[in-house]
Amino acid sequence: MQKHNIFLALAGLKPVSEASSGHFITTGHGRRLVPDDPAEVTLLLHQLGLRYRIKRKPHYLLVQVSLSEERLEEYEVLDELSSPRETYTEAGRLFGYPKTAVEAFAAAHTTDRDVRLPRLEQDVVERAAGIPETADVDFWFSRDHWREELPVVKNWCCVLRQYGFLTRSS
């Protein structure tokens, strides 16, 4: 399970977060991913006091969490929005990303303009800022505003490190 994504919502740093929950089993042909036990995942989320939705996918559970039932309801109706751009924009807002990063992501997926910071440049920026490659915070900076967006990712990583989701060497 991507516990760090759940923790960012639990810590109040993301209004809504998503995580996949599955594990590998060995088969006669190697291994394959299967969903975790929904009852165990439900119990954990309930014990944490989170509001949640669990959707079964073929190979994993998709878990959506929030401290607020209202935010989860907002997230659930995104498919009903009038345009893909509006859907990306609202999802980004609910996931706690800065508006500039959300706008860059939406533009890259709904137009021919990609105004995101190229991934290799972002990797250099993140390593220089002390963000470990293993952080897996799923954040893509905008080309023009990455300096303002970087503190958000650094804060997420700082909190994740403080609570044991990232080690000092990560």
Token pair 């990232």 in the structure block, residue: 166
Residue 87 in tokens: 């859907």
Q: DSSP per residue over 106-138, as a string?
A: HHHHHSS---BPPHHHHHHHHHHTT--GGG---
Phi then psi dihedrals of residue 21, to 5 deg: -135, 110
The band of 2, judged by pLDDT with boundaries at 50, 70 and 90, is confident
With a pLDDT cut of 90, the percent of the chain lying above it is 77
* 50 or 165, higher pLDDT: 50
Lowest mean pLDDT among 102-106, 116-120, 135-139: 135-139
* 82 or 51, higher pLDDT: 51
In terms of average pLDDT, the best of 79-83, 110-114, 139-143 is 139-143
Segment 10-25 shows an average pLDDT of 95
Q: DSSP per residue over 29-84, as a string?
A: TEEEEEEPPHHHHHHHHHHHT-EEEEEE-SSSEEEEEES-HHHHHHHHTGGGSS-H
Q: What is the pLDDT at residue 170?
A: 43
CA distance 66 to 69: 7
Token pair 């915070």 in the structure block, residue: 137
pLDDT tens profile 56-78: 999 999 999 999 999 999 999 98
